[in-house]
Amino acid sequence: MIRSVAIRSSLVALALVGSGCGGDGEKATDSTPGMTREEAVGAFVSEVVVPANEVAADSAEAAASAVAALCASPSEASLVPARAAVAAGWGAWRATDTFDMGPAMDRRSTSVVSYKVDPEKVDVALAATPPTDPETVRNRTSSSVRGYGAAWHLLTADAAAFAGQPQRCAYLSAVLAVIVEEAGAVRDGWTDGLDGAPAFRETATGSGSDALTSTDVIDAVVNMQLSQLETSAKLLTAVAEAEPGSTHELPAGELFQLSAQMGGFSATYDRLGDLLDPALVKTVAKEIATIERLLSEASMLPSEVDPTAADAGEVAEAVEALRSTIATEVVSALDVTISFSENDGDS
């Protein structure tokens, strides 16, 4: 069984939207009399997206505090909670991927917070002259050696390494400081607005000169889900089909991150039942549950150990089943316009 984790941030139930047979303002299904697409998107933004980004920002701050405690007094007793806090922060951030729009998309926050880490390059940087201040990490450091992935890799050392290598703590602390700053900016972008722009919660609910329609929001969410699932299915299939001894491109912590993303998916479709055919909602929920079950026998921390070919193939099959259902039945029911794939962008 796979060693991973089902980190699920404290998202409230999602009120995502749609009706395949009408435009904005048209009534939803009989199960929610009077609900319009605009009302459902408003609930989605205020009850799910904003709280999720608040959780991600708060979790980043908690991770930075736990790392500060570790660095102040390195020991196994301080290392364990630091690992747990960083894992929780990483999971909370990845749970927001389903609604990676607005501030996070505009700022390309993933490149700072959760880009695919290169553990070997992190080790090389640590052994040489690692970045030890937030400004250098943000502006002069490759995305592959910063963010939660780098923080987690630095925390895989034993407690003695933090006492014996002062630069490890300095590097780790700078990485976390940038994550805290970025996660906070994304949260503030939704609630208050950034750089003179209105709060994106208003933009996403139809207010202001740059207002999005409810259809824009629905399309963005569903397209992001499809992109994520396609990427994960391809990566896991490559592992499953690789020749023994060959290398592959499965990012460190990929299964952990997939499990965290399923928290966002599950919250999404908990509320889609108000607007979609109940049979379709049950199918989606069952497919999400299958993925979660395959990832559920877990420590509470991400693992850098790759899954076996058999495990990777089983998860890939489950991910592809969910992707297929969303790409066909959900897309049709919500009248979603499919956009280009974003698989070659930040991940």
User: pLDDT value at position 288?
Assistant: 95
Looking at the domain covering 47-197, what would its CATH class be?
A: mainly alpha
User: pLDDT value at position 206?
Assistant: 94
Task: State the Cα–Cα distance between residues 216 and 249, nearest whole angstrom.
Answer: 33
Task: State the Cα–Cα distance between residues 213 and 37, nearest whole angstrom.
Answer: 9
User: pLDDT value at position 219?
Assistant: 93
Is 272 in contact with 16 (CB distance < 8 Å)? yes
Mean pLDDT per segment of 10 residues, for the chain of length 347 residues? 38 34 40 67 88 97 99 97 96 90 94 94 95 96 96 96 94 98 98 94 92 93 94 93 78 87 85 78 94 74 77 94 97 89 45
Is 114 in contact with 148 (CB distance < 8 Å)? yes
Task: State the Cα–Cα distance between residues 120 and 232, nearest whole angstrom.
Answer: 22
User: pLDDT value at position 251?
Assistant: 81
Is 190 in contact with 200 (CB distance < 8 Å)? yes
Dig out the tokens for 57 from the structure: 């920002």
User: pLDDT value at position 17?
Assistant: 32
Dihedral sign (CA 304, 309, 311, 312): positive
Amino acid (one-letter) located at 102: G
Of the candidates 203, 206, 216, 210, the residue with the CA atom closest to the CA atom of residue 336: 216
Q: What is the pTM of this model?
A: 0.86
Task: State the Cα–Cα distance between residues 43 and 239, nearest whole angstrom.
Answer: 39
Identify the bridge partners of residue 298 per DSSP, sorted by sequence position.
Answer: 4
Phi then psi dihedrals of residue 213, to 5 deg: -85, 165
Domain boundaries, the chain: 47-197
User: pLDDT value at position 273?
Assistant: 63
User: pLDDT value at position 243?
Assistant: 83
User: pLDDT value at position 36?
Assistant: 80
Is 218 in contact with 272 (CB distance < 8 Å)? no
Phi then psi dihedrals of residue 311, to 5 deg: -65, -45
Kindly give the residue spans of alpha helices, DSSP state H, lying in 157-242.
159-164, 166-191, 200-203, 214-241
| Unique residue bearing structure tokens 């987690």 | 152
| Cβ-based burial of 209 (10 A; exposed 0-12, middle 13-18, buried ≥19) | exposed
Q: How many CA atoms lie within 13 A of 101 on its CB side?
A: 21
Of the candidates 276, 286, 288, 290, the residue with the CA atom closest to the CA atom of residue 330: 276
Is 300 in contact with 191 (CB distance < 8 Å)? no
3-state secondary structure of 308: coil
Is 105 in contact with 223 (CB distance < 8 Å)? no
User: pLDDT value at position 39?
Assistant: 83
Dig out the tokens for 44 from the structure: 């989605």
User: 302 CB contacts (<8 Å, ≥6 apart)?
Assistant: 4, 5, 87, 90, 152, 252, 253, 255, 256, 257
Task: State the Cα–Cα distance between residues 44 and 39, nearest whole angstrom.
Answer: 9
